[in-house]
Amino acid sequence: MTLLNLCLALPALGFLLILAIPGHNHRAIRATALAVSLLVFGLSLGLAVRFDAAWPGYQFVTDVPWIPSPAIRYHVGIDGLSLWLVVLSTLLTPVGVLVSWRYIDRRVKEFYALLILMESGLIGVFVALDLFLFYVFWEVSLIPMYFLIGVWGHERRIYAAVKFFLFTMAGSVLMLAAIIYLYTQAATFDYPAILSLMAAGRLRFSPLEETLLFVGFFLAFAIKVPLFPLHTWLPDAHVEAPTAGSVILASVMLKMGTYGLLRFCLPLFPEASREHAPWIAVLAIVGIIYGALVAMVQPNMKKLVAYSSVSHLGFVVLGIFSFTRLGLDGAVYQMLNHGISTGALFVLVGFLYERRHSLEIADYGGVATPAPNLAAAFMITTLASIGLPVLNNFVGEYLVLQGTAQVNFRWTVFAAIGIILSACYMLWLYQRAFFGEARPEVRAHVSDLNPREWAAILPLIVLMVWMGTATRTFLPAIGAANARILEQTQQNVEFHVHRLAPTSGASAEVLRAR
């Protein structure tokens, strides 16, 4: 239990530590940031090791009062759902530090301070079990990212940063309204307590209430995910953000949305979630296909990857709103996968940018010749991203689609089109950037990976393979948590299952059997 608190507190301390270092001593700042983030990563691995996957409830729980009235508690803990997301955050922060090593050369101190501070917020989002605390962390993680984009971004950084902030803010204020309303009904912000009130039938919402509350939460999360058509902040934010910003944004921050959907929307508003699942699923599918199509025609690498995120995250949302164990497991797994593979893509694009100072695909071509290792790493990441078996994304996508198929086969059919398209845009990108004769300016500027860069990318590549093959490392804990969430959503909503069931009777059969 102290381990988890340490994970939360250490980055905050690191933030202060970095602030205390004189601003001109870049080396010390970087080293400190790296050390702190690695330390936190180590601690989070400790969490993973000591985590009991068989136990479905929260572990490493700390629950102390923070504010007496209204009763707000510092209540943190993790279950299988949050465990790996925490590890993901702690893993990608050192990666973010490493990729910024040369990239960030001005206002270094502020950069690393914010990066480390953000880690605290991100971890907090995933471990908070008090709705209010959750909201606080949710917002806290927003500010550093805003600055990362706005200060260290590219030309249109300000537009992107403000857009990012306002989109997210617009969603989260509605969530705040819903959270407060929930409090006025439940008289507590404590999430497990609210759930047990609901389970005991002492807290009920009228359909209208539930729908409105659901929408309040959902919009905040959907913007963060981002779900079509609320996604337009993402490409801008990604394109303008510095590498580390993009990495953290794509890998961890977007997961805040899907995590929220799964953690809060489903158990709190089971009926509304199920009732609205059809159109949400449709939006998710539209996002999958649409994101892929738009990604295909992007001339800018980061934008391409950003739109691919829209597509990938569509799978996650689809899985969540399939309300099947497979779909949920797949969705969570896909969150992690997307974190790893898209994170790696941004890392690699960042490497390219550091060499050639351009994000336009047209400025590259033939990179494989001067930088074979970079090309190989990019290839593996590309393959992971397009869902090649034995690499990570495949497992997630498979589970999601399999889960969806149990509910509505038509959804699966359309969603699976996204997998075809993902191959189109990624391979086309790869071809344009890496194949062909190397142009003189590419030859002149592009060199192969150096050890620091290897250190940043190799763990991710190893994880891609690991997660694609040894899924048992991760899935049991995730599954236990999802089983519980699913159970929570099944209270008194039996009849919806039938309504959602597909046209063919057989799958309803299967569903009932489960």
The two structure tokens encoding residue 361: 């695909």
Which residues inside 214-233 make contact with other proteins, applying CB under 8 A?
A: 229, 231-232
| Smaller CB separation from other proteins, 39 or 296 | 296
Cα 481 to Cα 78: distance, rounded to the nearest angstrom: 10
Q: Does residue number 326 form part of the binding site for other proteins (CB under 8 A)?
A: yes
Q: Does residue number 150 form part of the binding site for other proteins (CB under 8 A)?
A: yes
Which residue in the set 49, 184, 200, 494 belongs to the binding site for other proteins (CB under 8 A)? Answer: 184
| Smaller CB separation from other proteins, 103 or 159 | 159
Instruction: Report yes or no: 26 and 108 within 8 Å, Cβ to Cβ.
Output: yes
Minimum Å gap between C-beta 453 and other proteins is: 17
Minimum Å gap between C-beta 326 and other proteins is: 5
Minimum Å gap between C-beta 370 and other proteins is: 12
Q: How far is CA 484 from CA 1, 79, 178, 270, in A?
A: 22, 10, 23, 13
What is the x/- site pattern for other proteins, positions 437-476, by CB under 8 A?
Answer: x-------------------------------x-xx--xx
Minimum Å gap between C-beta 178 and other proteins is: 9
* Ranges of H-type helices in 365-474: 372-385, 392-407, 409-434, 440-445, 451-469
Cα 297 to Cα 295: distance, rounded to the nearest angstrom: 6
Which residues inside 329-388 make contact with other proteins, applying CB under 8 A?
A: 329-330, 366, 368-369, 372, 383, 388
Cα 83 to Cα 87: distance, rounded to the nearest angstrom: 6
Minimum Å gap between C-beta 154 and other proteins is: 12
Which residues inside 194-213 make contact with other proteins, applying CB under 8 A?
A: 212
What is the x/- site pattern for other proteins, positions 385-424, by CB under 8 A?
Answer: ---xxx---xx--xx-xx--xx--x--xx--xx-xx--xx
Which residues inside 264-303 make contact with other proteins, applying CB under 8 A?
A: 290, 293-294, 296-298
Label residues 469-505 b or e (16+ Cβ within 10 Å = b): eebeebbebbbbbbebbbeebeeeeeebbeebbbeee
Task: Return the residue matching tokens 């905050």.
Answer: 12
Which residues inside 235-254 make contact with other proteins, applying CB under 8 A?
A: 235
| Smaller CB separation from other proteins, 39 or 136 | 136
| Smaller CB separation from other proteins, 41 or 137 | 137
Q: What are phi and psi of 63, to 5 degrees?
A: -140, 95
Instruction: Report yes or no: 96 and 242 within 8 Å, Cβ to Cβ.
Output: no
Structural Rg of the chain based on CA atoms: 22
Which residue in the set 147, 259, 346, 353 belongs to the binding site for other proteins (CB under 8 A)? Answer: 147
Which residues inside 56-115 make contact with other proteins, applying CB under 8 A?
A: 67-70, 107, 110
Q: How far apart are the first and last CA of the chain?
A: 35
Cα 408 to Cα 415: distance, rounded to the nearest angstrom: 11
